[in-house]
Structure 1
Amino acid sequence: MNIKHLKWYFIAILIVVLCFCLIPETQYHSFGFSIGIGTAVLAAFFVFLGIAEIDSFSEITYYSENPKSQDAATLLIPIAIFIIGTFWINTNFSNRLEAKIKKEGVIARATIDSGFTEMTQTSSGNYSDNTLALTLTTDDNKEYKLVADNVSAEAYRKVGVGLDVEIIYLPQNPKIFRVLVDDQSVKKFKNISNRDIEFKDLEKIITAKEPEKLEKLLNQMSSGWQRHQTEEEGFGFINNLKKEVVFIKPASHALFYVREKNYNSEAFEIPKERILKEVSDSVSVFYELDKYFVEKQIKYKKGEENGFINVENIMMRLK
């Protein structure tokens, strides 16, 4: 290899370095895969010039007369660089953007205005692309119309028009955001498991004396909790995404917990080893535990697609 041809490899490397140094990761939101494709094309082109041992651009016109034109590697290596480079550069930009949103993003609530699903039929099956339109009002009373593409099927099933959902957005550009509805996004951006409430949680919840403490406890388990206004004594929160309601009456040392689950889901479990007495009738099951009295009711209602939903009511009070 002639040393003067090394300049082409140097230029190829320089193009990639400048891409990462000069293009902010936020541009990936606007330009997407074109960043990786454009950079990889340029890098692969200059690698091709180096492999073909071309001295100047004018020699490209006579490439067919170049002895290297008969060597398959002269084209295969740049093509491989283009394919691998496109994937690597775009993956890098995508990961950097996600990390920036997680580090610098602000969590707020946005209202769902509309949503639609576009079905694509291919030889290998049908694919759905879910889209949501939302309205965000920031703390400085600026309103932004947002569009979330490629919403997961899990998230799309949970939401509806008019529902307030949590999002995380970049303050410098609120149109760069992520919807925090499905388990994966909640775990990724809020670092919580987004799990259902369990009996051990009710033992902590029943001790809450103020709404702020209850809200803190609930937000450590899952996302989507909102204050539930009621004229009754006490306070409560509702989670429309997970179909759960918690209500506490501190003066009575009582707690009410309601959740909806698919018919074939596991029922709310009370630790068997702590049950001292169990009595049931046609409506409820009554448990006496070491520290609590618990009543559990299960009702059924019609759900989507002719399915049924379990509605579990848990009433718990201290002895």
Structure 2
Amino acid sequence: MGTVALAVTDGMLHFELAVAYEVFGSAPDAVTVPWYDVALCGTGAVRVGRFRLESDRGLDGLRDADTVIVPAWADVDVAPPADLVDAVRVAHEAGARVASLCTGAFVLAAAGLLDGLRATTHWAHTDVLAARHPEVEVDPDVLYVDNGSVLTSAGKAAALDLCLHLVRRDHGSSVANAVARRLVVPPHRAGGQAQFVASPVPARDDHPLAELLPWVMERLDQPLTVEDLARRARMSSRNLGRHFRAATGTTPLRWLLDQRIRRAQELLENTDSSVDAIARATGMGTATTLRRHFNRTVGVPPDAYRRTFRTRPRSGTEDAVLR
């Protein structure tokens, strides 16, 4: 799927760089689609965290890439190197998709790529980014922001979310899920989810949502409401909302809609079922409702998504299963 250039220079952090290399460096065994060609582009041997890395190409290699990834910049009090900033700007002008991980957003902002756009970075540095670049609309409460050809992520684990999001954009939900399974991470966290979740859902049986979430996933074809979820969890809707916000960073209704959309993506990719049948199978009720929510969430209509990410030839059997 083209070249992914990882922009490396002295003063970057190794975690986000390693995340990007792990996601784009090799396809999972079960994936047969053309994969990415990854290159480290920097100024010779560079220090990333405590490691020394030898670049594959110079920073001028960024301009030939289809996607440029800018990992985290270690010291936000110091301006990023001018040659890195210039190379990222030139790459974008040449048509590259540019994504920053964590504080790599400071590089994109310095290059002018975030002017007039919404962007994010690690929550601990959003105030600094906003003060230094007032022309950027800094959002401290999201995991990542997708502006099409320019994307930014929050810190650490959110870098993985953004990388998986890029794979999902390029190859569809099934392939992104396969990458997530290899990495043993959740397949999808929506970009609008809160950065800081005070109490993630623990892997223990006595958590208030431990039984509820699997129960919901088995019943996505049913017209569940927040009241249904609260009744199942034996708590008030208000109390359920507090638990959901603390555990997932979002509301019960938003979480439920995200699960329905994810299921619809999988069915569009892997079955021949009509949009009407998929709407019923995901609890959306009608094709009109599914199209409205799908287009708003994914950015394209269901039919266009299917044409782009279809992974199997038509067999004429799956539609009967859903009907």
Instruction: Identify whether the pair has TM-score above 0.5, normalized to the shorter chain.
Output: no
TM-score range, shorter chain: under 0.3
Considering Cα pairs closer than 8 Å and 6+ residues apart, tell me whether 1 or 2 has the greater RCO. 2
| More strand per residue | 1
| More helix per residue | 2
